[in-house]
């Protein structure tokens, strides 16, 4: 039988969020200028267009990454449903729903599970891009 929590128990909530992250431009490395070698081997220097937005140059780009947001919370409600399919337990923290796949006894357990969840989410993102 799986562990079951009660109202008032503190658990580690394994959650993540997508967050905008600014990264140095991979083309100009933040210098906002690039050197181009032409077919005749001559070189010219020009503005980097990879990290510009409109007429403004930044030297960085925005990307979105999954960021860990593990936190300890106290269970405020418990909902148990029993039927022919067995017993299903859900926990509430405020308006959020927690289940046994995202509520853990220790921070380490939550972080380990979260790494797998983030890896799966990143893989699903790659599949959508195909």
Residue 125 has a pLDDT of: 86
Per-residue pLDDT of the chain in tens (130 residues, 90 and over written 9): 468 899 999 999 999 888 998 999 999 999 999 999 999 999 999 999 999 887 787 899 988 898 888 999 999 999 998 888 888 889 999 899 998 889 999 999 999 999 999 999 989 988 888 7
Identify whether 67 is part of a domain.
yes
Identify whether 125 is part of a domain.
yes
Q: How many domains does the chain have?
A: 1
Query: Which tokens in the block code for residue 83?
Result: 């039927």
Domain residues for the domain of 49 are 10-129
Identify whether 120 is part of a domain.
yes
Identify whether 21 is part of a domain.
yes
Identify whether 43 is part of a domain.
yes
Strands (E), the chain: 10-13, 16-24, 33-37, 43-47, 52-53, 56-57, 60-68, 71-74, 77-83, 86-93, 96-98, 103-104
Identify whether 1 is part of a domain.
no
């Amino acid at each position: 039988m799986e562990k079951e929590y009660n109202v008032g128990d503190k658990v580690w909530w394994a959650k993540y969020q997508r967050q905008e992250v600014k990264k140095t431009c991979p083309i100009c490395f933040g210098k906002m200028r690039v050197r181009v070698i032409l077919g005749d081997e001559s070189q010219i220097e020009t503005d980097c267009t990879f990290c510009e937005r409109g007429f403004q140059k930044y030297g960085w780009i925005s990307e979105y990454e999954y960021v860990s947001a593990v936190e300890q919370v106290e269970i405020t409600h418990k909902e148990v449903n029993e039927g022919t399919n067995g017993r299903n337990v859900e926990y509430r923290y405020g308006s959020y729903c927690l289940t046994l796949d995202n509520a853990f006894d220790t921070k380490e357990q939550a972080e380990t599970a979260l790494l797998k969840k983030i890896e799966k989410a990143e893989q699903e993102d790659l599949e959508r891009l195909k």
